[in-house]
Amino acid sequence: MKQTKILFILFLLVEVGISFGQSKEVKIRVDGLSCPFCAYGLEKKLNDIKGAENINIDFENGLVTMNIAGEKNINKKEIKDKVKEAGFTPIKVEILDFPKSSENPKQ
């Protein structure tokens, strides 16, 4: 019985680790961020992606960074579609595993 409890607790810890420990960082390079209607429109469209947070727009360098929280399986196509919806042509999209325990250095 004791072993079962320990196993159950271990199972819970592992589950918690998966749920809260996984996050992805997305980097998107686009042209034409000088227009605020377009740039904040891109933010608005990316905000529609489930789990999207910490969307940051670097106007000068044409770089957008964001995190996708939780276990969401995001793919490049979904992000590229949102970029196109906002009226931009995505130049480059990178998706990196980003353990949330280490926290976003920008925060």
**Residues forming the site for other proteins (CB under 8 A):** 34-37, 40-41, 43-44, 47, 85, 87
Helix (H) or strand (E) holding 66: strand 63-69
Cβ closer to other proteins: 60 or 97? Answer: 60
Q: How far is the CB of 82 from other proteins (least distance, A)?
A: 12
Q: How far is the CB of 42 from other proteins (least distance, A)?
A: 11
State the Cα–Cα distance between residues 4 and 34, nearest whole angstrom: 59
- With a CB cutoff of 8 Å and minimum separation 6, the contacts of 23 are 67, 68, 69, 70, 98, 99, 100
State the Cα–Cα distance between residues 107 and 100, nearest whole angstrom: 12
Q: How far is the CB of 39 from other proteins (least distance, A)?
A: 9
Cβ closer to other proteins: 34 or 75? Answer: 34
Cβ closer to other proteins: 40 or 98? Answer: 40
